[in-house]
Structure 1
Amino acid sequence: MSKGLILVSGVNGYIAAQTTKYFLDAGHSVRGTVRKLASAKPLLEKALKDYAEAGKFTVVEVPDITADGAFDEAVKDVTAIAHLASPVSFFFKDPEPVLHAAINGTKTLLNSALKAGPSLKTVVLMSSIAAIKNANPPPYVFTEADWNDFAEGEVARLGKETPGPVIYSASKVAAEKAFWQFREEKKPHFTMTAVNPVFVIGPPLLAPKTPSAVSETIHTIWTVFSGAPLPPPMTGLPQTVDVRDVAALVLYPIEHPEATDGERYIASNAAGHPQAVADILRKAFPEARGRIVEGTPGAGYKKGYEADAEISTPVDGSKGKKLIGEWIPYEKSVVDTAKQFVGLVKL
């Protein structure tokens, strides 16, 4: 017996695919949406084949998530929705289509959710720390009470000259604002919760077949593992969290809707650093030490991988951590990610 049917939008995405497996492993059924069915073939025929053959995992095509009624069929008979489909890149050039997809994709799904009937208990939005982090300098500690109050204004001011990361941030804050505005105005019959992860790392469900297929948030691990020069460390907000912890944090509100209604949860664990990645991988893959750049072992990061409040912004992930227990250790996230890259390099 399935615990219920969860709709996962953008099921072929990096976070969504791992989250879907987490749902299935926990005893739920999943209906995923994709723009084109062909993009779900690796999931249906490989990674989640057993669940697909058992009828626990199905995929439907939603070509344009911003079109009115786009999700009307997809939401039928579902018990929960995890809205994970949204544009993700730090190299966007034009804010208009990005914001359109993020905002209207969220609104369209929620409008369809209103038509889903009483079986639907909860909707969980995959937001981002980008919707929380504002211009407050260290040692200010960001919590779920904070909102990004500058990105949308920068987009309005700079237009197509807006830096890619700011466009991404504006899209996430605008989409989450639309999410909560819907709850306030429509007072839906289902509960609503947002999850706000920092930089997501950890193993992709499907190993990338080419370097260009490596997700942006795990590209530093790939760069180091491949033997390229160590990239510069992230400044401002170097915190990371494992994709499997994000999946757990998305599932929790689905299984505990009343306790999490109206809440935001930050997913944040360790501060990442390229030198730390190099040190971890050189130890875990001794046969690759000749390839992985040594750098200056131990330099630039703390032994416990805590953020340095003097140079980066502290983020409080304790609220989310209480729901799922301990975060997956940073070392494990890095090593498990690199294992998915073994086929791309010669050890």
Structure 2
Amino acid sequence: MPTTNSNNKGTVLLTGLNGYIAGVTAEAFLKAGYSVRGTVRSASSAKTLLDALSHYGNLSIVEIPDITKPGAFDEAVKGVSYIAHLASPVSFSFDDPQGVINTAKTGALRVLESAHKHQLSHPGSITSLVFMSSIAAVRSPNNSSPEFTHTYTEKDWNTTSETTVQEKGSAAGFEVYQASKTAAEKAVWDFRTQNNPSFSISSINPVFVTGPPAILPHSPDKIPQTAQPIYAVAAGHPLSKASVGSIVPGLIDAYVDVRDVARAVVWGVEHPKESDGERYILSAWYAPPQSVADILRKEFPEKMEQIEEGNPGKGYDSDYGWKSRKVGIDGTKVVKATGVEYIPWEKTVVDTVRFLEPLV
């Protein structure tokens, strides 16, 4: 049975518990002294995570097979003080565009509806809700021509993916995911405007999330998609095939550590006045596969023959920043708000490889 924190700060409802980011976020909340109530479609899918994290504190699960069902979260929100909504379809390819968009958008609304309804009957019970959005809701993918120059901030919105998906259907590929995140976040802000809930609402918009997961995957194919590029380089795959851009053309090798994302979510629920109504882009580094190879060949000399050398030091700035790029992503707002810098890229890479070493 899970143990209870002696300094319990209240209960957080964390949706989509068995996801990559959610697992690390649950661990962060538990370590910070919160109880966590995680939602999953099937209890069996979270057993391994539950076993791995329960010793940190009070971790429980609630089955919600269909997050789009009216009242789906009515019972789950009872007794919680904070909500972190992370449940959403995630993939680099979808074959049911409208189903994906509907699940992401309606799932977010169902959480908000249940929280708002409970808050009306139990004033002051819920203080904050953090919504996990994405850089996909910020950056329009068609703005990737060589002539395009722009630094994205929280003021930007993806203005094209929803239309593209309507026109192309499943042929839109990764834009289905981008459209779903955009539609869901817009729905969240529309709900806030229309209903004026008494709890704070903020969104987290990370770029590609990488870093050590909460538990070791059973096999390489179970490694989270956005953490696979680091694994691929360490495992000796060609650098030309280890970039997210090689999987989906036009994507940028922009990364943030999953532990930074988890920390930002915790900060969001802890600071309702500061975070209410705010979006926070989490973008730490521009780091193509060459940077990963350079770090690993230095840190693990015994693996040098396995890791492709490529062109050391080429294709990225020495500080893994955006100075030499025409398109940049500004992730400084969250640093200014929290007062904490991002985890260094070298640490992210090394920690990830060490954690995944049994699979390399």
- TM norm structure 1: 0.94
**Residues 261-298 of structure 1: CA distance to partner in whole angstroms, max 9, x if unpaired?**
11101001110211111111112222222211222211
Q: How does 1:228-307 map to 2 (within 5 A)?
A: 228-232=237-241, 233=243, 234=245, 235-307=250-322
- TM norm structure 2: 0.91
Structure 1 stretches lacking a partner, 5+ long: none
Distance 1:326 1:336, change over 3 A: same
- Quote how far apart the aligned CAs of 1:238 are: 2.0
Q: Match for residue 176 of structure 2?
A: 167
Amino acid at match of 1:144: E
Please say if 1:155 is aligned against 2:165: yes
Matched residues in 1 for 2:261 and 2:251: separation?
21
**Residues 161-200 of structure 1: CA distance to partner in whole angstroms, max 9, x if unpaired?**
212x211100000000000010011111211000100111
SS of match in other structure, 1:194? strand
Amino acid at match of 2:80: V
Contact 2:286 2:322 (8 Å CA) reproduced: yes
- Quote how far apart the aligned CAs of 1:308 are: 5.3
SS of match in other structure, 2:69? coil
**Residues 307-341 of structure 1: CA distance to partner in whole angstroms, max 9, x if unpaired?**
35545x21111111112311000111111111122
Q: Match for residue 53 of structure 2?
A: 48
Matched residues in 2 for 1:236 and 1:343: separation?
29
Q: How does 1:83-232 map to 2 (within 5 A)?
A: 83-117=85-119, 118-134=124-140, 135-136=142-143, 138-163=148-173, 165-232=174-241
RMSD: 1.4
Structure 2 stretches lacking a partner, 5+ long: 1-6
Amino acid at match of 2:76: A
Please say if 1:62 is aligned against 2:64: yes
Matched residues in 2 for 1:335 and 1:258: separation?
36
Matched residues in 2 for 1:9 and 1:323: separation?
25
Over the matched positions of the two proteins, sequence identity in percent amounts to: 48
Amino acid at match of 2:172: T
**Residues 61-114 of structure 1: CA distance to partner in whole angstroms, max 9, x if unpaired?**
111111111111111010010000001111122211110110111011111111
Matched residues in 2 for 1:22 and 1:310: separation?
33
- Quote how far apart the aligned CAs of 1:28 are: 1.1
Match 2:33 to one of 24, 27, 36: 27
Distance 1:38 1:236, change over 3 A: closer
Q: Match for residue 82 of structure 1?
A: 84
Matched residues in 2 for 1:237 and 1:323: separation?
25
